[in-house]
Chains A and B, each alone.
Chain A
């Protein structure tokens, strides 16, 4: 009797399972096209909290806009906050690859974090496209590291020439004590010295530091005629600019592209007047208009580069690439007009680039050349 009941139960279970499986099998047969359009996950990693969060948010807007405009239904964006720190970036990329199974990543934002994450991207054959890491070292990180922003090997040289051409001969540098600042400082000081100028001071501060008085005191003592600020922390830049005013430093002020941020103008106010900033493209006029229409604001720092980083990956997916390796191969063949200019990656995954020169006049960045 017991055996009978068990047998009936088993038959019942088989029947039910069978019934459930039957239609399921039918759906898979019916939707062959849907299989092709399987969801492809793309990661985004950047600082969404911490002192560099304004860059992360601005880039994320560019990425979201690109995603919306491309209308890729089969692409899902997975967002991780890496706080611009190496160790957080490693955690973030491990989660994106192992847990979420992303096939490509837009990020990281800060050079130090990109360098920390790059080996993991290479090992797992997942391409990373950074919208903003400008350290020259990023070029050497293997074939899975790309960027839509030109290397500081170019910008440092450009900045040195610009300062020299404007007649400055005694340069002081104030840079953040991490990959971005160190890399830029090396190129800048070497280029300026090669041109025949003199580097009178080169002082560093921790990213996010707001007391830079002693570095500035030493700088003032060296009597430079131009001070170059290399910083990826708006907080520190605002503090440095205000403290320069307080200490009565009258040298001309130059800034790297990270200084072209509305947060700095708002925070530093009049202390930012006259600052000259070398910056990568903030976007074609079409992109600026579309960004304005979408968010009601002009694009923030690297929004255009973020747009292009996602677009490069999106185009690769449109061409049928589904794995990290296929996307990487497609990226090397990228050739499109993006928001920041024409995008073609060289063998290091770098783009060439031109720089605009802005000057802060009446609380706004004005394009001077």
Chain B
């Protein structure tokens, strides 16, 4: 086993997982301009729905996945319609929305713990076995799938935002909500779509992360922190950038503890977050909005 190859693969796996979370988070942020930290819990809800449907009830795996994606999308839409929208109608500031989203994260963490208990749960669809040897590094088939899906997401989201009508509308709302409204774009409808698509991505993340990392009620917090960091590095309003930023974060974390003591792994992520927030808050691939104004 070559150490360099294995560390690269480890970094790519970690990055792909962060990217799955970052993509949906960034999509919702870019359209709505507030931090939907409850996105972390959307991922966890997705994972637990898959666990309930497949492992507890025994619904066939692929059907369970489809149902999970539908539930996740509805869950995201629900958080927007039942919480953010009423708050926005009361002219709540983005800080209030941010705090509300953290509240939802904590609330559902506890609800999940009440229902399923605090123990680690595993979906058990894929048997844990020694991985495949690819260029001297060991990687499991599931991990290859996770990396491929992350890269596909990157391409699809890029095309979606650039080419589709909905993507163009989203960018318009993102740039200037009032102007977009004048042009006949219903920004509430666009917000609905952003939550549906963003939470659909959370469902994808929930399924894959649930299979890869097992489930526990508190996993959402660390996932959203890493996803958020990845999104900031890549450029929080620019969705494909968030995916690339996540891969960079995963690689940086794993390469740095090659020569640093391994206790510094999370510290590296936060140091990167601070550096980017201080020096380049728009991220590597973000657009400087001030210039546009």
- Contact residues of A with B, CB < 8 Å? 49-51, 53-54, 57, 177, 203-206, 208-211, 213-215, 217-218, 220-221, 234-235, 238-239, 242, 245-248, 263-264, 266-271
Q: Which residue among A57, A247, A248, A269 has the maximum number of chain B CB atoms within 10 Å of its CB?
A: A247
Q: Is the CB of B213 within 8 A of A213?
A: no
Bound Cα distance from A247 to B1, whole angstroms: 10
Q: Is the CB of A214 within 8 A of B119?
A: no
Cβ 8 A contact of B265, one of A49, A53, A54, A206: A206
Shortest Cβ distance from B13 into chain A, in angstroms?
A: 7
Q: Which residues of chain A are within 8 angstroms of B213 by Cβ–Cβ distance?
A: 210-211, 239
Q: Is the CB of B113 within 8 A of A214?
A: no
Q: Which residues of chain A are within 8 angstroms of B262 by Cβ–Cβ distance?
A: 203-205, 214-215, 218
Per-residue CB contact flags for chain B residues 92-115 toward chain A (1 = under 8 Å, else 0) read: 000000000000000001100100
Cβ 8 A contact of B118, one of A53, A245, A248: A53
* Residue B59, interface by CB 8 Å: no
Shortest Cβ distance from A50 into chain B, in angstroms?
A: 6
Q: Which residues of chain A are within 8 angstroms of B257 by Cβ–Cβ distance?
A: 214-215, 218
Q: Please classify how large the interface on chain B is, using the bins under 10, 10 to 19, 20 to 34, 35 or more.
A: 35 or more
Q: Is the CB of A235 within 8 A of B216?
A: yes
Q: Is the CB of A269 within 8 A of B118?
A: no
Per-residue CB contact flags for chain B residues 104-148 toward chain A (1 = under 8 Å, else 0) read: 000001100100011111101001111100000010100000000
B:237-273 near A, CB below 8 Å: 253-254, 257-258, 261-263, 265-266
Given contacts A238-B214, A267-B214, contact A217 B130 (CB under 8 A): no
* Residue B219, interface by CB 8 Å: yes
* Residue B153, interface by CB 8 Å: no
Q: Which residues of chain B are within 8 angstroms of A242 by Cβ–Cβ distance?
A: 128, 214
Q: Which residues of chain B are within 8 angstroms of A209 by Cβ–Cβ distance?
A: 265-266
Q: Which residues of chain B are within 8 angstroms of A217 by Cβ–Cβ distance?
A: 1, 3, 6-7, 10
Q: Which residues of chain A are within 8 angstroms of B275 by Cβ–Cβ distance?
A: none
Shortest Cβ distance from B150 into chain A, in angstroms?
A: 15
Shortest Cβ distance from A115 into chain B, in angstroms?
A: 18
Shortest Cβ distance from B131 into chain A, in angstroms?
A: 5
Q: Is the CB of B120 within 8 A of A235?
A: yes
Q: Is the CB of B118 within 8 A of A54?
A: yes
Cβ 8 A contact of B120, one of A177, A203, A214, A263: A263
* Residue B32, interface by CB 8 Å: no
Q: Which residues of chain A are within 8 angstroms of B6 by Cβ–Cβ distance?
A: 217, 247
Main secondary structure of the interface of A (DSSP, over half): helix
Bound Cα distance from A203 to B261, whole angstroms: 7
Q: Which 8 A-B pairs have the closest CB atoms?
A: A53-B118, A267-B120, A263-B119, A213-B10, A204-B263, A177-B263, A248-B130, A210-B213
- Contact residues of B with A, CB < 8 Å? 1, 3, 6-7, 10, 13-14, 17, 109-110, 113, 117-122, 124, 127-131, 138, 140, 213-214, 216-219, 222, 253-254, 257-258, 261-263, 265-266
Given contacts A49-B110, A235-B214, A242-B128, contact A248 B222 (CB under 8 A): no
Residue of B nearest to A174 (CB): B262
Cβ 8 A contact of B130, one of A53, A208, A245: A245
Q: Is the CB of B13 within 8 A of A213?
A: yes
Given contacts A215-B257, A263-B120, contact A221 B3 (CB under 8 A): yes
Q: Which residue among A208, A245, A246 has the maximum number of chain B CB atoms within 10 Å of its CB?
A: A246
Cβ 8 A contact of A245, one of B120, B122, B128, B214: B128
Q: Which residues of chain A are within 8 angstroms of B113 by Cβ–Cβ distance?
A: 49, 53
11 further contact pairs, Cβ within 8 A, besides A49-B113, A242-B128 = A51-B218, A177-B263, A203-B262, A204-B262, A205-B263, A210-B213, A213-B254, A235-B214, A235-B216, A245-B130, A267-B119
Q: Which residues of chain B are within 8 angstroms of A220 by Cβ–Cβ distance?
A: 1
Bound Cα distance from A234 to B117, whole angstroms: 13
Q: Is the CB of A248 within 8 A of B131?
A: yes
Cβ 8 A contact of B216, one of A51, A204, A205, A206: A51
Residue of A nearest to B143 (CB): A246
Shortest Cβ distance from B6 into chain A, in angstroms?
A: 5
Q: Is the CB of B218 within 8 A of A247?
A: no
Bound Cα distance from A246 to B218, whole angstroms: 24
Q: Which residue among B3, B128, B261 has the maximum number of chain A CB atoms within 10 Å of its CB?
A: B128
Instruction: Name 17 A/B residue pairs within 8 A (Cβ), A-sorted.
Output: A49-B110, A49-B113, A53-B118, A177-B263, A209-B266, A210-B214, A213-B13, A218-B257, A234-B120, A235-B120, A246-B131, A247-B6, A248-B130, A248-B138, A266-B122, A267-B214, A270-B127
Cβ 8 A contact of B266, one of A206, A213, A245: A206
Residue of A nearest to B120 (CB): A267
Q: Is the CB of A270 within 8 A of B128?
A: yes
Given contacts A214-B7, A217-B10, contact A267 B218 (CB under 8 A): no
Bound Cα distance from A218 to B122, whole angstroms: 26
Q: Which residues of chain B are within 8 angstroms of A239 by Cβ–Cβ distance?
A: 213-214
Shortest Cβ distance from B261 into chain A, in angstroms?
A: 7
Shortest Cβ distance from B145 into chain A, in angstroms?
A: 14
Residue of B nearest to A182 (CB): B263
Q: Is the CB of B128 within 8 A of A214?
A: no
Shortest Cβ distance from B47 into chain A, in angstroms?
A: 12
